[in-house]
Amino acid sequence: MTDTAPTPIAEPVPVAPVPAPAKAKVKVKAKPLPAPKPVDTSWLDRDVSLLAFNARVLHWAKKTDVPLLERLRYLTIVSSNLDEFFEVRAALYTSLAKPKAALSAIDAQAQEALSHAAHLLVEEQYALYNEVLMPALAKEGVRVIPHGERSQAQQRWVKSFFEREVRPLLLPVGLDPAHPFPQVANKSLNFIVHLSGHDAFGRENDIAIVKVPRSLPRFIRLPDTLAGKRTLFVSISSVIRAHLKDMFPGRVVGNFSQFRVTRHSDLSVDEEDVKNLRTALRQGLVHRNYGQAVRLEVSAGCAEHLADLLLRQFELPVSALYRVHGPVNLVRLNQLIDLIDQPKWLWPRYEASFPLQLSTNTPIFEQLAEGDVLIHQPYESFDGVLAFLREAVMDPQVLAIKQTIYRTGSDSVLMELLHQAVQRGKEVTVVVELKARFDEEANINWAEKLEYVGAQVVYGIVGLKTHAKMLLVSRREGRNIRRYAHLSTGNYNPKTARLYTDLSYLTANPKLTADMETVFGLLANQSRIPKLSKMIMAPFHLQRGLIDWIDKVAKAAAQGVPGRITLKMNSLTDEKLMEALVCASQAGVEVDLIVRGACMLPAQRPGFTDHIRVRSIIGRFLEHSRVFYFQTGTEEALYLSSADWMNRNMLRRVELAWPVEDATLRARIVNECLTMYLHDHVDAWSMAPDGSYHQVPPARSTGKAKAALGAQNKLMALYTAKP
């Protein structure tokens, strides 16, 4: 497969596959170069960079060439990302725990910059929602109609719905010494109400809280008889708002506001101090919804005294208050998208091809005996991976299956296949990562189910997350046992495999599979640091191994041998790796970084990173594959990995990187995952020296005018065109 994109005009230096030796060398012992002379060695702020990524995602909600409901979906994606950002990252900022006077100047400056960026992003979201997306839907006859604009017949229907479906589930709480402020769950919808007059006992308790159950739908469609030729909805918040007075008979409802509090939700368990990690985590899940408050969202018109009361209640600074012009939870707009039956406002359905290297007429084990197989998801279907596991489950010659599980989802065909394997008498070992953030409960449930039927379930290594993605099959062939394996840059989740770009690698290479057997042994018995033949493993060797490759290219460049490094990943925040890249750049190495999200390494800063370019690709699919390419002279090496270049991946996780030594597959990866992305002039953003991002300008037209395609669209077209 080749790409005929023209040579880019300035920012990227194109990657071109070069002849490689029969076997690429994977062990490098080059000494590091001297540290670069600092010109401006300050890294960019990780969290501001992460918010900038979400601003790039939000840009897709602005694009008029994107289907209308997909634009709305991008808005919800940003909201979901922001929720997770506050749940995980915001609590790290000391201003939420310390008085302002106790902050260092650096802490205060970082908090102020973060708060400013977050507030600007939220304001942009709601401006887009109110001024662009909802008017565009209204123009097409779809509206979320507020109480003040409902006809009398519509108001009667809404009142009937409220009395029948909503009111029985609500129990307003009036605050007084006997009725303290109720526990408010993370990200739940609530109302705060100011009341005047006296209660039934003659007291003047003037504040009440109404908690809205999550079981209630956030949008309700009005009957066609009340909508005419339009499609009309009402939001649950407007339904409750319209009937607040009915919940407080004898009282006068004054100021009120919807509100939502976001809480720190990263589970904290002292693994060294618990006897059973699974039990400890299940207990921790019960309390996750009631962690430290980090953000408060209220209606734009919320009275100051009500906002102040909530801030005091949740012990939050004013900077954590977000006044929003609309629903306090834009994520729930996903329900609205599902209720609108308009396929023309969605992406045309993309049908992934069955993996091109796999034949459906020949057993996969036989095909792997002939050579390695690469699957480029989601352009090729995850069904190829499922077919490999299904064949292993059904094959009577397969004796054992070992697999790691990080994020597989609550409804997983893959896990059901492992369940069947146990029932068919195979030895099944599953390394389940219980601490996969926000997937803990699903993973605990799968661990218990598999353990119940007799699978060997282990939870990796205390203090480390097992993030490596690997599946190893041991099969009897005559007098020998041969191993077959699957490695991946992404998760064993069939649903996200349709939305994330990832690379799956099927192999029977005896050195790779022996390395995997060694790693599984380490995860089970933790006996000693593994000695691997081909793979590089974190937390032992990966960071050092990558630095050695960077230094090798840099040393060659310093001696006049052309060198380049091209890396694709989700995040780049590890300081030692960034320092090595800076050193290589200053030695003359051309460095191209394709980093989807947070990147702390500034690009093309004069005298510091002149030869480093950073770009981010945002498209229909979530970029998720990790590809590390090193070239010096006529030698090249390419690794695939589950690891981003973050300190946690290098030192606090079990990660793997493996070399692709097949020249054809290596050229295919370079072309599809690197070259196409460096030539993208549609969906690409380029980083400026100050860390800001700007859309890459359109490529100069050559010959006949033709609609430009981004890398993802090119790949969809490429795989669709194949027989």
- In the numeric block, the tokens 């599902």 are attached to 338
- Where along the chain do its domains lie? 52-345, 364-534, 538-721
Q: Which of 419, 467, 611, 679 is catalytic?
A: 467
pLDDT score recorded for residue 105: 53
What pLDDT digit, counting tens, does each position of 453-491 carry? 788 888 777 778 888 999 999 999 999 999 999 999 998
pLDDT score recorded for residue 113: 80
Active site residue 611: no
Residues paired with 257 in a beta bridge: 192
Give the residue ranges of DSSP H helices in 254-332.
277-288, 304-314
Specify the fold of 364-534. Answer: Endonuclease; Chain A (3.30.870)
What pLDDT digit, counting tens, does each position of 46-88 carry? 999 999 999 999 999 999 999 999 999 999 999 999 998 998 8
Check if 52-345 and 538-721 are the same fold. no
Specify the fold of 538-721. Answer: Endonuclease; Chain A (3.30.870)
Reference 507, options 367, 628, 643; nearest CA is 367
Cα–Cα distance for residue pair 620/348, rounded to 1 Å: 11
Buried b (16+ CB within 10 A) or exposed e, 405-438: bbbbbeebebbebbbbbbeeebebbbbbbbbbee
Cβ-contact 682, 713 below 8 angstroms: yes
pLDDT score recorded for residue 96: 44
Entry pTM: 0.89
**Cβ contacts of 362 within 8 Å, gap of 6 or more:** none
What pLDDT digit, counting tens, does each position of 614-654 carry? 999 999 999 999 999 999 988 999 999 999 999 999 999 99
pLDDT score recorded for residue 334: 93
Tokens of 504: 């799956």
Does CATH number 3.30.1840.10 belong to domain 52-345? yes
pLDDT < 50 positions in the chain: 1-14, 16-33, 36-39, 94-103, 269-275, 278, 280-281, 436, 704-705
Secondary structure string (H, E, C) spanning 428-492:
EEEEECCCCCCCHHHHHHHHHHHHHHCCEEECCCCCCEECCEEEEEEEEECCEEEEEEEEECCCC
pLDDT score recorded for residue 1: 40
Q: Would the CA dihedral through 550, 553, 557, 559 be positive or negative?
A: positive
